[in-house]
């Protein structure tokens, strides 16, 4: 079935067109929507896109970083001020996918995809949503909980730069290297205050239908040093709150067993 493609100069117009048509899907990099078209998905008949320049802009202010939802993984890897995110962007797809796949699209990538979103969760990101009634800010966690019911348009993602480069850690486990889909991924922001963790954020990819925060792990780490005892307390509750899928890559059981192993390695800072 042919698709109607509507292109708008501004994100606001695109958001209005999206809100006015239940059968419309927004296209950014194409890695999700074009794939759906190729597979004969008939759940949408209109594709909305925007040529808004701000949509693909990186604004790395000193403490706050804003990424337009149309920023690609390759753009992130080319930006020296975003070095802490380079391992995350590099973990997404192969070189061609990284030239196409966007920050905004990754928010909608079904599990086991969405490694970049796990990193954004650990960074406590908020989303700017462009609705037909203007813009609003939404915490990423809240957005993910209602992901399938959202009809607004994500225009950008904002988060605080990690206090130090070492405070942010990311790890993706895949069976094929260098390009493989996640068995699981873990992102953590662990700011230290006087040798103790203050404000721990730990997030998982591929451990639930959407990327999730590992809140039991965060609680176990809070106020602790990153020593053997602190790590052991966190690792003991690693699988709490997770509901991973069994798929061609791994069983749910395997993912639950492995999350503790890889959380331990991530906290120890070992490969």
Query: Which of 91, 144 has the CB closer to other proteins?
Result: 91
**Closest approach of Cβ 32 to other proteins, in Å?**
9
Q: Rounded to 5 degrees, what are φ and ψ at 213?
A: -85, 140
Query: Which of 7, 160 has the CB closer to other proteins?
Result: 7
Site residues for other proteins per CB under 8 A: 2-5, 7, 27, 30-31, 34-35, 37-39, 47, 49, 74, 93-97, 99-100, 178-179
Name residue, tokens 């990101």.
Answer: 125
What's the N-to-C CA distance of the chain in angstroms? 48
Cβ atoms of 242 and 262 closer than 8 Å: no
Query: Which of 75, 231 has the CB closer to other proteins?
Result: 75
Beta bridge partners of 59: 66
Alpha carbons within 13 angstroms on the beta-carbon side of residue 18 total 25
Query: Which of 56, 121 has the CB closer to other proteins?
Result: 56
Q: What is the rounded CA–CA span in Å between residue 187 and residue 268?
A: 14
Beta strands in the chain (DSSP E): 4-8, 24-26, 46-50, 58-60, 64-68, 126-131, 134-139, 153-160, 168-174, 182-189, 192-193, 196-197, 201-205, 212-213
Query: Which of 179, 265 has the CB closer to other proteins?
Result: 179
Query: Which of 47, 235 has the CB closer to other proteins?
Result: 47
Q: Could you tell me which residues come within 8 angstroms of residue 38 by beta carbon, excluding any fewer than 6 positions away?
A: none
Longest Cα–Cα distance in the chain = 62
């Amino acid at each position: 079935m042919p698709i109607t493609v509507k292109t708008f100069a501004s994100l606001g117009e695109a958001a209005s067109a999206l809100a006015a048509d239940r059968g419309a899907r927004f296209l950014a990099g194409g890695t999700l929507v074009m794939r759906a078209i190729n597979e004969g998905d008939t759940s949408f008949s209109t594709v909305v896109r925007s040529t808004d320049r701000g949509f693909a802009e990186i604004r790395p202010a000193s403490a706050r970083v804003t990424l337009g939802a149309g920023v690609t993984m390759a753009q992130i890897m080319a930006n020296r001020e975003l070095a802490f995110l380079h391992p995350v962007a590099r973990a997404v797809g192969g070189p061609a996918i990284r030239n196409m796949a966007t920050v905004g699209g990754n928010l909608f990538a079904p599990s086991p995809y969405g490694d970049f979103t796990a990193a954004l969760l650990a960074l406590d990101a908020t989303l700017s949503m462009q609705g037909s009634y203007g813009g609003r800010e939404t915490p990423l966690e809240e957005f993910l909980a209602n992901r399938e019911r959202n009809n607004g348009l994500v225009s950008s993602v904002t988060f605080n730069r990690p206090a130090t480069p070492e405070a942010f850690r990311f790890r993706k486990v895949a069976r094929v290297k260098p390009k493989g889909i996640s068995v699981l991924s873990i992102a953590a922001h662990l700011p230290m205050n006087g040798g103790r963790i203050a404000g721990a954020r730990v997030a998982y990819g591929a451990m639930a239908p959407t990327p999730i925060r590992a809140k039991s792990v965060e609680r176990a780490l809070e106020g602790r040093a990153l020593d053997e005892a602190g790590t052991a307390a966190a690792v003991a509750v690693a699988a709490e709150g997770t509901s991973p899928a069994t798929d061609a890559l791994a069983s749910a059981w395997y993912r639950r067993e492995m999350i503790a192993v890889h959380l331990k390695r991530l906290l120890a800072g070992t490969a």
